[in-house]
Copies of this chain bind each other. A is one copy, B any other.
Amino acid sequence: MIHSSAIVSPDAQLGKNIIIGPYSIIHENVSIGEGTEIGSHCEIGLPTPLADNKELVIGKQSLIRSHSIFYAGSRFGDRLITGHRVSVRELTIAGENLQIGTLCDIQGNCEIGNYVRMHSNVHVGKHSKVGNFVWIFPYVVLTNDPHPPSSVMKGVSIEDYVALSTMSVILPGVTIRRGTLVGAHSLVSKDTNMNVLVAGNPAKEICEASKIRLQDGSRMPAYPWRRHFHHGYPIDVVEDWNAEFQDNEVRGVKK
């Protein structure tokens, strides 16, 4: 399952049933979990002194699409899925079920939770902290330098269930709180509240996110999105979400 044109270091640790596509390169300091597929034209485990001699760990059942580049020194849980031409620098520590879209550029030295989904062309600056079940849409930038260029690095924090819409910039040190939606083409310059919509340049709080209605005819609240959007999440996660909202309704709690 390793294409004859691929260049694989004899020191790379490969699990069972690994597929490696044509013209891909696997360096020595790499551990790839079983059942993982790596597309063509990739370079996996590029050495760098910044990796601190740490290896690159890719979890099981992952899929790295073609033309992607991963440096040594990062660690990904199981079921990582990437688009094409993804770039990931060293010391990125990510949970399970991460999706990284085509052309994403992850600068390293960052933490990413479980079930995070980045669409195409997301830029994650160093020192970013991204929680669980976060969505990040195309051309979003997580910045880190409050007065560029400088040596002061203030990463952003993105809490659970946040959605960052396309072409938004999160300024250094800002926290986007749990469940909040950042509207498209926004510049977020200060911490947000939970479960709200912020939008604009600079972004202002517009309303509670739950005021936004689903445009599917139901007029149900579109947020929290986990109440209605379950595509691709495993059954146990969805059951937890269903229970959460059922309980709240029984108890008369608005979420």
Contact = CB atoms under 8 A, between A and B. Distances in A.
Interface of A: 5, 7, 22-23, 25, 39-41, 43, 46, 66-67, 69, 83-85, 87, 102-103, 105, 107, 117, 120-121, 123, 135, 137-139, 141, 143, 146-152, 154, 163, 165-167, 169, 171, 181, 184-185, 187, 200-201, 212, 214-216, 222-223, 225, 228-229, 231
Contacts of A184: 143, 169, 171, 187
A228 B123 contact: no
A120 B105 contact: yes
B148 A165 contact: yes
Given A87-B102, A121-B123, A149 B163 contact: yes
A146 B215 contact: yes
Contacts of A201: 185, 200-201
B152 A216 contact: yes
